[in-house]
């Protein structure tokens, strides 16, 4: 099974290859708790990806942060592979993102 680190690296490589601006967000004392792992700006839209393994689960604080992003009009989703990122970037309707892989 792939590790979260390996999945994240593959996603970041893909986002770089398609010329997206993408940043791996690292938790720390000066960052809000629960932020997704990756922030990406592509075609003028900011999207967030929470990277998990096949069995990984979102914590309560992550879920709360995702809800806050959605209420602000942002797109955020849990992803477990590059293929899922590709799918979501091709389907930017909030209804797809809000229900994907939760």
What letter would DSSP give residue 20? -
**What are the 10-residue block averages of pLDDT along the chain, 102 residues in total?**
95 97 91 94 93 95 94 92 94 68 55
Burial code (b: 16+ CB inside 10 Å, e: under 16) for 93-102 equals eeeebeebee
| pTM score of the predicted model | 0.91
Burial code (b: 16+ CB inside 10 Å, e: under 16) for 33-45 equals ebbbbbbbeeeee
Classified by CATH at the fold level, domain 4-99 comes out as Trna Endonuclease; Chain: A, domain 1 (3.40.1350)
Q: Distance from CA of residue 44 to its chain's centroid?
A: 16
The pair of structure tokens assigned to 81 is 């592979």
């Amino acid at each position: 099974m792939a590790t979260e680190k390996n999945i994240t690296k593959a996603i970041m490589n893909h986002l770089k290859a398609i010329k997206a601006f993408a940043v791996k967000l690292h938790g720390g004392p000066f960052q809000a708790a629960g932020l997704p792992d990756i922030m990406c700006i592509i075609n003028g839209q900011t999207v967030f990806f929470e990277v998990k393994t096949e069995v990984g689960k979102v914590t309560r604080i992550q879920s709360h942060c995702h809800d806050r992003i959605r209420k602000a009009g942002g797109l955020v989703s849990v992803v477990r592979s590059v293929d899922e990122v590709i799918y979501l970037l091709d389907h930017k309707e909030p209804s797809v993102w809000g229900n994907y892989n939760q």
